[in-house]
Amino acid sequence: MATSNTPVVIKVGGALLENPAIAAQLLTEIKALMATRSVILVHGGGAMVDTLLGAMQLTSTKIDGLRVTPDEHMPVVSGALAGTANKMLCGLAIGAGVTPVGISLLDGGLTQCTVLNEKYGAVGIPSPGSSALLDHLLASGCLPVISSIGSNADGRLLNVNADQAATVIAELTGGDLLLLSNVEGVLDGDKVLIHALDEARLKDEVNKGVIKDGMLVKVEAAMQAATQLSKPVTIASWSQSLAAILTNQTGTRVIPAAQISGE
């Protein structure tokens, strides 16, 4: 387990909000963890975006698995992510006895974003900016709750992939990154949890057809994040104990190539 001055950056998907009991339990565990370590919560909310777009009779399409986000959709996307999802998580934090501050990637110069490709519309790629706002919030004992809405230098609002958002926040703060969802980690062909996954093991499991589809996307994002951060990234279930995850008792640690010899 890392030293207490290393923040824990926890990324959750919007699906967490579909199970309020598990979400409340996670926030209770975050409160306990905050007694010894700073915590930053980064979230997505794709399902909530889809629901709201549908209610507004707006059609959402994808290219290469990425959501095309026209600028005219951004008020709805921002409302779902930086509004509803963010404030629901903040409310759960308050209920757990935590003091949250709901912000986005664009606040306080946390990140700078550039447009990925105009064919995707207002979709951004983030890079680290200033940690000053986060430093202040963490020093004050608050829980930053960060939505994946960013902007470019001209103030154009951009929709950012939540895994990338969490990675850039971990990069900015030197934090340990946990990617939490409704799966316990990466399973092998016998449905047994893989505790440590390096590039060679990943290629082997992909070639055998074990890691595929949505899990492949998740693992590749984790591997990219681990490489970018030069430290392992953990994929685990949000219903598991944070203490167990942080002490490597559960979940899958995705190990970048540079770290293999040191594991």
Catalytic, 218? Answer yes
Catalytic, 185? Answer no
**Among 14, 83, 150, 185, which one carries the catalytic annotation?**
14
**Among 13, 46, 150, 251, which one carries the catalytic annotation?**
46
Catalytic, 214? Answer no
Catalytic, 11? Answer yes
Catalytic, 189? Answer no
Burial status of residue 139 (CB atoms within 10 A of its CB: 0-12, 13-18, 19 or more):
exposed
Say if residue 67 carries a ligand binding annotation. Answer: yes
Say if residue 45 carries a ligand binding annotation. Answer: yes
Say if residue 155 carries a ligand binding annotation. Answer: no
Say if residue 141 carries a ligand binding annotation. Answer: no
**Among 107, 163, 176, 198, which one carries the catalytic annotation?**
163
**Among 129, 218, 231, 251, which one carries the catalytic annotation?**
218
Show binding-site residues: 45-46, 67, 159
Show binding-site residues for substrate: 45-46, 67, 159
* Residues carrying an active site annotation: 11, 14, 46, 163, 218
